[in-house]
Structure 1
Amino acid sequence: MSTNRAVAYLKPGAVEVQDIDFPSLELQDGPGVAAANVGRKCPHGVILKVLASNICGSDQHMVRGRTTAPENLVLGHEITGEVIEKGQDVEFIKVGDVVSVPFNIACGRCRNCKERKTGICLNVNPARPGAAYGYVDMGGWVGGQAEYVMVPYADFNLLRFPDADQAKEKLLDLTMLSDIFPTGFHGVVSSGAQVGSTVYIAGAGPVGLAAAAGAQLLGCAVVIVGDLNADRLDQARSFGCETVDLTRGSPAEQIEQLLGEPEVDCAVDAVGFEARAHGENSEEAPATVLNSLMELARAGGGLGIPGLYVTGDPGGIDADAKIGALKLRLGLGWAKSHSFVTGQCPVMKYNFHLMRAILHDKVQIARAVNATPIRLEDAPRGYAEFDQGASRKYVLNPHGALDNVSPA
């Protein structure tokens, strides 16, 4: 039997590369696997040779100890790979296909999937709607920061690239289709942004930068990105964004200097529950972003909220934060008739069209997020540097497919 290596969470602040079982078309018992999913047969699945798997800010929440993730949970929900084996029920995906794997696991059969709400599939996680690879409370599907991984419901879930050789040439851009590009784009679209809109994006991490690139792709007139990290603001400016330095306090005054008014048409939260207050050396204040967006979005504007919020946070700053209860100025949002869209991005709603934008050179998403390939064995370093605020999107390269690939 072939070997398999994968990145696993050990304890707060620590991951390591471990030997794990080669995947099969059956979900085995293991760390985080829901009891009702153990032994689940997947003749509708495929085995992928992982060509690229990205480190995500959502993974960092687990690695920081801010979730109930169990020891030895194999990480990784941003996966691009080559099909090397398929189950007997797979009809359209073929061995040799190069594919993007949406981080949402979806059956394609339930009511929500049929309504394109693939982030909240009803059949893949016994505990709650929605599932993902390598993530706490998401059904226990083994993560893809590995050499090989199993993907269920392959005909429905997988986005096949039309030309495998072309896909490998653009792999560093295409690997962003599994999560952060659709997620950032979803945040912008769900905020109501359109051609000519002014948009403020809170957070210049990879999702925020992907949202900014998506806003530009949509034709927004002004895209403003706010953050506390100077290097990340530099990265946002590198592809034409305006920026707000949140170490200087509330963003309203800086936005007014840019636009002539302190409000924007639309706002996006690309930070989530580990938000910090505005100002230099600020402390954690998890409702900061949501409250500031309600101040900054004009009356009748919209808020897209792809930033992650959780129902359980052992490291929360108080009893309310530990259960995801935040002190929101909902009255302000109500008075301004704001719309709010939250939850996992339904990746399949966007990934096909964003793939076309990449393949036809309409967007350079790898450059926007500063995609940086590293070896699988270097994953612990990548996690540590990302946690320290590096303005990079680390992409694991387990088989060398990215050795000679650069951003488009």
Structure 2
Amino acid sequence: MPGNRAVIYRGPGHVEVEEIDYPTFELQDGPGVNPDNVGRQLPHGAVLKVIATNICGSDQHMVRGRTTAPEGLALGHEITGEVIETGRDVEFIKTGDLVSVPFNIACGRCRNCKERKTGICLNVNPDRPGSAYGYVDMGGWVGGQAEYVMVPYADWNLLKFPDRDRAMEKIVDLAMLSDIFPTGFHGAVTAGVGPGSTVYIAGAGPVGLAAATSSFLLGAAVVIVADLQEERLTQARSFGCETIDVSRGEPADQIEQILGTREVDCAVDAVGFEARGHGEQAETERPATVLNTVMDVTRAGGAVGIPGLYVTGDPGAADDAAKHGSLSLQIGLGWAKSLAFTTGQCPVMKYNRQLMMAILHDRVNIARNVNATVLPLDQAAQGYAEFDRGAAQKYVLDPHGSIA
């Protein structure tokens, strides 16, 4: 049996690559594992050799100490890999298959899964609906920023790539299918983006850039991306986006300069709970800023997609209310404009096959648009540090040197 190494959270601002147990078909006790999940038998699972595993902004929230994540947690929920072992109940997935792993863990059996709401599966997390690998309050499933990882309900969860050689040629693009590409696409779809739409996207991190890419794929006429980091705005402009530097003032004023009107058809919040203010308040954390802004700039009767992460526990928040996820929202504004809102985890399985086909048939180049940058597993700490400083890159870890 080979060894296994993984990226481990060791406290605010600190990750280490350490030896961990090789995966088995039983969920073991460990940091963050719900006691009701300890000893859970997983004959429906598969063990993967990890080909690519990405650093996500959601991981960064934990590493900054902005969640209740326990020290010792093995991180990573964006996983692409090769199946090397299957449990006795796995029927269709085979050893040797190259697969994408949706970051949502879903059973395929509960009411929500049967309704395609795989982001809120009822059977995999005793704490609440919904689960993910290597994430706080998600049941304790071991993260995939590792050499090997176990995926439960393999026949249901795994997306098999149809041709291995062709997939390896585009493996960095396909690595985005586990989370950020479907998540950005979900944000755009739920915001109502379609042919001819004008779109405002708050945040030029990887999810925001994926939402912008998705908006073009859906036929948007104008995509406006807002951020504080000039490097990230430059990346957005590299594939045709208009951009707004919110440190220079209110987005509506800058939208008017681009469109001739202060409102857009559709808006996406790709920032989440660590949002900062606009203009002179750009250096101050104001977690409700983006939500209030997207309500302000979206036309009456429009829709807002909110793939940006919001949490129920934020020990580093600026005020007591925000520490419990309570924000000062202008919900009356949203009500008065009859806006529709969609929040929560993206149900990755709703979109990942279609987006896979778009990648394989050269309809989209998501890796280029998010500036995917490959690092060996041993450089994970460097990737986290650079990402935390606002680098306009999506870091992809390559545990086995598999990516050419």
User: Which residue pairs with 1:249 in the alignment?
Assistant: 249
Cα distance between partner residues in 2 of 1:274 and 1:106: 28
Question: What secondary structure does 1:257 align onto?
Answer: helix
Whichever residue aligns with residue 363 of structure 1, its letter is V
Deviations 1:106-136 (A, max 9, x none): 0000000000000000000011000000000
Deviations 1:73-103 (A, max 9, x none): 0000000000000001000000000000000
Give yes or no for the alignment of 1:188 onto 2:191.
no
User: Which residue pairs with 1:386 in the alignment?
Assistant: 387
Two-structure CA RMSD over aligned residues (Å): 0.6
Whichever residue aligns with residue 100 of structure 1, its letter is S
Q: CA deviation at 1:198?
A: 0.4
Whichever residue aligns with residue 359 of structure 1, its letter is L
User: Which residue pairs with 1:302 in the alignment?
Assistant: 303
Q: What's the TM-score, normalizing by structure 2?
A: 0.99
Q: What's the TM-score, normalizing by structure 1?
A: 0.98
Cα distance between partner residues in 2 of 1:366 and 1:25: 33
Give yes or no for the alignment of 1:12 onto 2:7.
no
Deviations 1:32-81 (A, max 9, x none): 00100001111000000000000000000000000000011000000000
Q: CA deviation at 1:168?
A: 1.0
Deviations 1:137-180 (A, max 9, x none): 00000000000000000000000000011111110000000000
Cα distance between partner residues in 2 of 1:165 and 1:400: 16
Deviations 1:195-226 (A, max 9, x none): 11100000000000000000000010101100
Q: CA deviation at 1:359?
A: 0.2
Cα distance between partner residues in 1 of 2:263 and 2:211: 19
Q: CA deviation at 1:282?
A: 2.1
Q: CA deviation at 1:253?
A: 1.2
Q: CA deviation at 1:247?
A: 1.0
Cα distance between partner residues in 2 of 1:335 and 1:392: 38
User: Which residue pairs with 2:104 in the alignment?
Assistant: 104
Cα distance between partner residues in 2 of 1:330 and 1:338: 10
Q: CA deviation at 1:193?
A: 1.1
User: Which residue pairs with 1:216 in the alignment?
Assistant: 216
Gaps of 5+ in 2: none
Whichever residue aligns with residue 253 of structure 1, its letter is D
Whichever residue aligns with residue 20 of structure 1, its letter is I
User: Which residue pairs with 2:53 in the alignment?
Assistant: 53
User: Which residue pairs with 1:342 in the alignment?
Assistant: 343
Question: What secondary structure does 1:182 align onto?
Answer: helix
Cα distance between partner residues in 2 of 1:89 and 1:165: 28
Question: What secondary structure does 1:394 align onto?
Answer: strand
User: Which residue pairs with 2:356 in the alignment?
Assistant: 355
Q: CA deviation at 1:234?
A: 0.1
Whichever residue aligns with residue 139 of structure 2, its letter is G
Cα distance between partner residues in 1 of 2:249 and 2:286: 14
Q: CA deviation at 1:401?
A: 1.2
Cα distance between partner residues in 1 of 2:67 and 2:268: 23
Cα distance between partner residues in 2 of 1:256 and 1:235: 22
Gaps of 5+ in 1: none
Structure 1 consecutive aligned stretches of length 4 or more whose deviation exceeds 3 Å: none
Give yes or no for the alignment of 1:136 onto 2:130.
no
Cα distance between partner residues in 2 of 1:28 and 1:55: 24
Whichever residue aligns with residue 314 of structure 1, its letter is P
Give yes or no for the alignment of 1:401 onto 2:402.
yes
Cα distance between partner residues in 2 of 1:219 and 1:200: 14
Whichever residue aligns with residue 395 of structure 1, its letter is V
Cα distance between partner residues in 2 of 1:127 and 1:251: 38
User: Which residue pairs with 2:321 in the alignment?
Assistant: 320
